[in-house]
Amino acid sequence: MTLRCSGVTLLEALIAVVISTVVVTLAGRTLLHAMAVSRDAVVRDDRLIARRIARVTLRSELAALGPGEARSSGGDSLRLRAIRGAGRVCRIESDWIVADLRAGRSPEPDKDSLELMGPLGAVQVVDLIGTGSEPNACGANAVGRPTRLRSSGPVDPDVVFVRLFETGAYHLDLGALRYRRGRGGRQPLTPDVWDERSSLVFDAPWIRASLVDARAESTAVPLLVRVW
Amino acid sequence: MRSSRGAAIPFVLLLTLALYALAWGTFVSASSALRSARAAVTVSELVAGVEARVVREIERGPPGLADSIAIGSSGFRGDSSNVRPWRAEWTRLDRETWLVQATIWPGEEDLPGTPLRAARLVWVLDPQARILALADVTVADTATVTAGNAPPGLTISVVDSLVLGLLTVDGVAEGLPRLAGVVTPRFATRSGECDTSVAENLGDPTGTSVCRDVVSLRGVDQGIEVRGGTGHVLLAGQGDISITDGALLRGILMTAGRVRVLDGTFEGLILAGRGVEVAGESIFVPDRASALLALEALRDVRSSGRLLRPIRNVWGG
């Protein structure tokens, strides 16, 4: 007698249904979990990016300044000279200089000022009222772009170095770190991840920032940077 | 023959695939986090490395023969064989003013990245420039200068604070062997060479011994009286300095107190916070050559630079 077996038995069908149910449930939960993890990762990534930008930006700006060139106001903002370029002074006339300028952007007379430094560190601050190119004024050793900078007043004849700066302010506002140049608008530099309890204080030589996470209310990240 | 057409194998394969996908995702996530952490550590190490490098450079002073570097030109130090290659550039802005820039590159074992830079503005003593900037006599604004037979054309500068460039009196005197009380200079030799470890050995400027070209740098915390003898010196400190009993000194006297040439000769430059007195028959010759040699001796022991401004970076960062 030959035993023939075709199709599935009831028992096999039941086992298949149970296994399918388990697998589908597992897959569904895994998918939901993965989506939650992904959302959290994006949020955490935003927080990390925002914190890193705040730390690097503020430290970078303040590292270029001496005492008295930055001050806090209102517990959430920091007003300072934002250095945008610097260079060796190659030539001096009564109210202009030529500098071997290395700058992140071109000098702009309507918003930039000049910090002129003497050989013993004395500093003279004047407004920038005009610029021009002087390609050969700094000789063969020039490393930047030789630039003529006209000042609003007479220049000390012994200045050796110039720094180009604009007056700006960093604010913690609407959940993000924002930069405001002069009287312009506040441009966000980071994602908006912090709530209104966050604070930003410059207590020389330290920057003390308490960044309170907008989504996790108990998390306050102290950002402490020594400038000098 | 038995034939089975169940669905167990596809289910097992599906389950295995799902587990593999989960494991792979976890692995990628962990690997990414590790890589990110390594990058952060590398950046932190590079930042610390370049800061340490620029500070060390300032302590060492300009490279090689600093006098041969023209204004606007640069001198370099570096090590390309280091685990993390670095280069330091000293650009001369003025006789005494330098821009010091350090650059450090990620090593072969680091994650690829851009080099990091740090820069400072630094003052370094240049004896010739300093001599040109000094008057024959420099005193504080409340001091008096009494010179019985002052040389014609004697220049006197009145200042708020007594400094040598960016060096204060205490900065000049820092670390120098001390003299106190009554001192009678005598040159000393050991093994045929001038023994500069003897505090009273102030050189032998008028003699022919091996000490004839030696300039002695000494600190003066309390008042001293140089009684007789000769010396080529830079004396610096807070105490009064008196020259008596026919002593002859050359060089620079820099004190927050008084300089009194009561019976003897001084040839050089004087910086005295509380004034200068040259008695009737005594001699003061404003000799810049002797003073220059004294400053060169000081430069040789104090070649490190001083920050022009307390900033961490000229450009930020």
Q: What is the band of A197 on the pLDDT scale with cuts at 50, 70, 90? A: confident
* Lowest mean per-residue pLDDT among A211-225, B37-51, B275-289: A211-225
Residues B159 and B292 occupy one common structural domain: yes
Do B204 and B295 sit in the same domain of this protein? yes
- Write down the mean pLDDT value for chain A: 85
Out of B7, B94, B311, closest to residue A16 by CB: B7
pLDDT bucket at A4, cuts 50 / 70 / 90: low
CB contact under 8 A, A228 and B312: yes
Domain that holds residue B80: 12-125
- pTM reported for the whole predicted model: 0.82
Picking from A44-53, B74-83, B213-222, which range would have the lowest pLDDT averaged per residue? A44-53
Nearest-CA distance from A218 to chain B in Å? 24
Closest Cα to residue B307, out of B167, B148, B127, B152?
Answer: B167
Please tell me which of the candidates B15, B165, B316 has its beta carbon nearest to residue A61.
B316
What pLDDT band is residue A228 in, cutting at 50, 70 and 90?
low
Q: Is residue B40 part of a domain?
A: yes
Residue B121 shares a structural domain with residue B133: no
Q: Can you give the pLDDT at residue B39?
A: 80
Q: Tell me if B206 is assigned to some domain.
A: yes
> Cβ contact (<8 Å) for B309 and A117?
yes
Question: Between chains, do A3 and B97 touch, taking CB under 8 Å as contact?
Answer: no
Q: B99, A88: Cβ pair inside 8 Å?
A: yes
Whether the per-residue pLDDT at B307 is higher than 60: the answer is yes
Q: CB-based contact (8 Å) between B166 and chain A?
A: yes
Higher pLDDT, B166 or A38: B166
| Residue at B4 is within a domain | no
pLDDT of residue A163: 94
Measure CA of the first residue to CA of the last residue in chain B; give whole Å: 80
Q: Do B316 and A64 touch (CB under 8 A)?
A: yes
pLDDT for res A221 = 61
Query: How does residue A52 score in pLDDT terms, banded at 50, 70 and 90?
Result: confident
Task: Select the highest-mean-pLDDT range: A23-32, A212-221, B166-175.
Answer: B166-175
Region A212-226: mean pLDDT is 65
**In chain A, residues 189-208 whose CB comes closer than 8 Å to chain B:** none
Is the pLDDT confidence value at B232 over 70? yes
On whether any CB of chain B is under 8 Å from the CB of A18, the answer is no
Average pLDDT of the residues of chain B? 89
Task: Report the Cα–Cα distance between both ends of chain A, in Å, rounded.
Answer: 97
Check whether residue B177 and residue B239 sit in a common domain.
yes
Residue A224: per-residue pLDDT? 65
Residue B134 pLDDT exceeds 90: yes
B17 alpha-carbon distance from chain centroid: 67
What are the backbone angles phi and psi of residue B244, rounded to the nearest 5°? -135, 170
The count of other CB atoms within 10 Å of the CB of residue B305 is 24
Higher per-residue pLDDT: B243 or B111: B243
- Specify the pLDDT at position B283: 92
B143 with B225, same domain: the answer is yes
In chain B, the residue whose alpha carbon lies closest to the alpha carbon of A137 is B72
Is B156 a residue whose pLDDT tops 80?
Answer: yes
B139 and B42 in one domain?
no
d(CA A46, CA A28): 27
B290 shares a domain with B210: yes
pLDDT of residue A74: 79
Q: Which two tokens stand for residue B267?
A: 């040839």
E-state strands within A21-175: 70-73, 77-92, 96-103, 113-117, 123-133, 145-151, 161-173
Q: Is residue B119 part of a domain?
A: yes
**In terms of pLDDT, which residue wins out, B111 or B207?**
B207
Phi first, then psi: what are they for A197, rounded to 5°?
Answer: -80, -5
Evaluate whether residue B212 is within a structural domain. Answer: yes
Residue B259 in any domain: the answer is yes
Q: How do residues A163-196 score in pLDDT, each as one tens digit? A: 999 988 999 888 889 998 877 778 889 988 888 8
ipTM of this predicted structure: 0.81
Please indicate, yes or no, whether residues B119 and B134 belong to a single structural domain of this protein: no
The CATH architecture annotation of domain A79-166 reads: Beta Barrel (2.40)
Token representation of residue A224: 């402490």
| Mean pLDDT score, B101-116 | 86
Q: Do A160 and B316 touch (CB under 8 A)?
A: no
Helices (DSSP H) in chain B: which residue ranges? 8-60, 127-133, 169-173, 288-301
Q: Are residues B153 and B231 in the same domain?
A: yes
Check residue B2 and give its pLDDT. Answer: 53
**Does some domain include residue B218?**
yes
Give chain A's length. Answer: 228
Is B182 in the same domain as B138?
yes
Q: Which two tokens stand for residue B53?
A: 């490098």
> Considering its fold, how many domains does chain B have in total?
2
Judge if B200 and B89 occupy the same domain: no
What is the average pLDDT across B259-273? 95
The tens digit of pLDDT for each residue in B21-73 reads 778 878 887 887 788 788 878 888 888 899 999 999 999 999 877 778 999 89
| pLDDT at position A174 | 85
> In chain A, pLDDT over 90 holds for what percent of residues?
28
B68-79 in b/e form (b: 16+ CB < 10 A) is ebeebebbebee
B113/B216 same-domain check: no
Residue type, A138: C
Q: Which residue from A minimizes the CA distance to B129? A: A119
Per-residue pLDDT band at A11 (split at 50, 70, 90)? confident
pLDDT at B236 > cutoff 80: yes
Confidence at residue A222, expressed as pLDDT on a 0 to 100 scale: 63
Q: Do B317 and A3 touch (CB under 8 A)?
A: no
